Amino acid sequence: MRLDRFLSMRGVDSRKSIKKVIRSGRVEVDGKPVFDFAMEINGNNRIVVDGQEVENDPYVTLMMNKPEGYMSSMVDERYPSVMNLVPERYRKRVRLVGRLDNDTTGLLLLTDNGVLNARLANPKHGIQKTYRVEVNHLLKPSFEEAVKSPIDIGKGEVAHVDNLKVLDDYHAEITVHEGKYHEIKRIFGKFSYDVIKLERIAFGSLTLGELERGKCRLLTKEEYVSLLESVHMKFEEQL
């Protein structure tokens, strides 16, 4: 990416004024002043403006443990937006990867890597998501059997359950890969169960681990690489 574009994207100044900032020698790349605003930089360069380092991760991907009562939206609407829970320095950069209902808790991803985001959302890539579910009445063996076949969830849509693990009379873990609107509630609803609690506990290879409810953290490099690979992208190509 060009240096002037990078600096204006990081909010250092507008693209026009950035050229002046660079020409006046206020910008250093890897310890040396740079005057060429068209210089190509990548995620390995250390960029400093007026003595202050500018964050230079080429992309930022965050995992959130979403609490109940927050909306998967960019701005507050009927409920506060999950963006309120994102550290301020990342808030303008990242976008949501899919959505969770207001009353659903658990693993929500946010990234500014648009290609990654689009691929993760595309059912073609079949990224599995696992949910822990609490229902309002006894989970029957007939239900366990029924979800092994495709399920007509209405509005011309058919859901496919990759795995169902019944934990006890009222709790189960269910894995799907299509990301249809209200998919889990519609699957259970089809068999007359109300979903009382819904928590996403895994997204592809990612799990919540020790992340507290309401908190956000950057993915580790290993997690990011594995997420990229799950949609046939390479870390080196993202720099």
Determine, following the binding rule CB under 6 A, whether residue 104 of this chain makes contact with ligand URA: yes
Cβ at position 209, least distance to ligand URA in Å: 20
User: CA-to-CA distance for 114 and 88, rounded, in angstroms?
Assistant: 20
* 101 part of the active site: yes
Cβ at position 89, least distance to ligand URA in Å: 27
| DSSP one-letter code for 31 | T
- Residue of 13, 57, 101, 103 marked active site: 101
User: CA-to-CA distance for 67 and 146, rounded, in angstroms?
Assistant: 31
List of residues 6+ apart from 60 with CB closer than 8 A: 90, 93, 94, 111, 112, 218
Determine, following the binding rule CB under 6 A, whether residue 4 of this chain makes contact with ligand URA: no
Site map for ligand URA, 34-53, x if CB under 6 A? --------------------
Determine, following the binding rule CB under 6 A, whether residue 182 of this chain makes contact with ligand URA: yes
Tokens at 91, concatenated: 């808030």
Cβ at position 69, least distance to ligand URA in Å: 13
Q: Which is nearer to ligand URA, 3 or 176 (CB)?
A: 176
Q: Which of 21, 34, 82, 100 is the binder for ligand URA (CB under 6 A)?
A: 100
Cβ at position 100, least distance to ligand URA in Å: 4
**Can you count the helices (H) and strands (E) in the chain?**
7, 15
Q: Which of 184, 208, 227, 231 is the binder for ligand URA (CB under 6 A)?
A: 184
DSSP conformation letters of 52-121 = EEEP--S--EEEEEEPTT-BSSSS-SSS-BGGGGS-HHHHTT-EEES---TTEEEEEEEES-HHHHHHHH
Instruction: List residues near ligand URA by CB under 6 A.
Output: 100-101, 104, 182-185, 198
Which residues are marked as active site?
A: 101
